[in-house]
Amino acid sequence: MTDQEALLQATELCKRYQRGGGAFAARGARNTFAAVDRVSLRIAAGETFAIVGESGCGKTTLARMLLRLIEPDSGKIIFAGRELTALSSAELRRARRHLQMVFQDPYASLNPRMRVSQIVAEPLEIHEPALSRAERQERALAMLRRVGLNDEFATRYPHEFSGGQRQRIGIARALILRPRLVVADEPVSALDVSVGAQMLALLRELQQEFGLTYLLISHSLPVVAQVATRIAVMRAGAFVEVGDAEQVLRQPQHAYTKELLAAVPELPQVTA
């Protein structure tokens, strides 16, 4: 992949944290750990790049750094030709409309005091303030319909919905600004298998319809196999293997990837 083809590119990203130990714990490099350790990646427009690994390996920390929700200690992030790590707060706010996130927990990621139409329309208030309230409402209703929720749901509150319906609301909120990149952080881990499969099918449909690029974070190889075009296997803050989905899942090169695959009874056919 050339630099011109990369929608998102990261180079040598690092993030270290202090280890636990209380107020009297020793300071210094020996008492820190690398949550993300010199990770580089390139994601092409239109693909689904999946990062897979066990809990605590650094996947979510990396995803949040790529959106600059967490500041990296070092490294560079370039999105659509612009260096995100060099943008001012105002410039980053303008750029962020093109980078949106679908969160893992559909129960905690929605404001319980807001009606669903308000939740979905809220990004428009921030990024398109010239729109009238009626225009925001109509666009929110259209997006809710697109993710499979009727107009009657718009005036309800999040607690009135199932987990799968709440995740559809989260997807509608992420897509209302028509972003170029969507980071999906364990989007089906809180859902049962059948509902999760419906959600993955919806994400694939929306990707085709809106020309989306996905960064998918998951601990589940079966989930990744259903949607990923390329896969990075992450362990202890670093990538140990990166390649096309078919190659990584069917002919893994690294011992850790082989261990992860050995723990899965059967993988679905790679469909991306």
CA distances from 77 to 10, 34, 49 (A): 4, 18, 16
In a domain, 38, yes or no: yes
Indicate whether 90 belongs to any domain: yes
- The domain total for the chain is 1
Is 114 among the domain residues? no
Q: How many angstroms separate the CA atoms of 241 and 120, rounded?
A: 37
pLDDT at 216 over 50: yes
Question: What's the pLDDT score for residue 39?
Answer: 97
Residue 144's pLDDT band, with cuts at 50, 70 and 90, is: very high
Are the C-beta atoms of residues 63 and 35 closer than 8 Å to each other?
A: no
For residue 253, what is the domain's CATH number? 3.40.50.300
Residue 68 in domain? yes
The pLDDT score that the predictor gives to residue 22 is: 52
Lowest-confidence segment of 127-131, 191-195, 235-239 by average pLDDT: 191-195
For strands 99-102 and 6-18, give the pairing: unpaired
Supply the pTM of this predicted model: 0.89
Residue 169 lies in a domain: no
In a domain, residue 122? The reply is no
Say yes or no to pLDDT of 153 above 90: yes
**pLDDT of 88 strictly over 80:** yes
Question: Is the per-residue pLDDT at 20 higher than 80?
Answer: no
Q: What is the pLDDT of residue 49?
A: 98
Percent of the chain scoring above 70 in pLDDT: 92
Asked if the model's pLDDT at residue 25 lies above 80, the reply is no
What pLDDT, on a 0 to 100 scale, did the predictor assign at position 89?
A: 87
Query: 190 vs 2, which has greater pLDDT?
Result: 190
Q: Is residue 32 within 8 Å of 17, Cβ to Cβ?
A: yes
Residue 18 lies in a domain: yes
Residue 19: per-residue pLDDT:
78
Give the pLDDT mean for 191-197: 90
The domain in which residue 224 lies consists of 3-109+179-262
Distances (CA, A) of 165 to 61, 139, 151, 156: 26, 18, 13, 12
Mean pLDDT of 186-208: 92
Average pLDDT of the residues in 177-195: 92
The answer to the question of residue 217 being in a domain is yes
Confidence of residue 3 (pLDDT cuts 50, 70, 90): very low
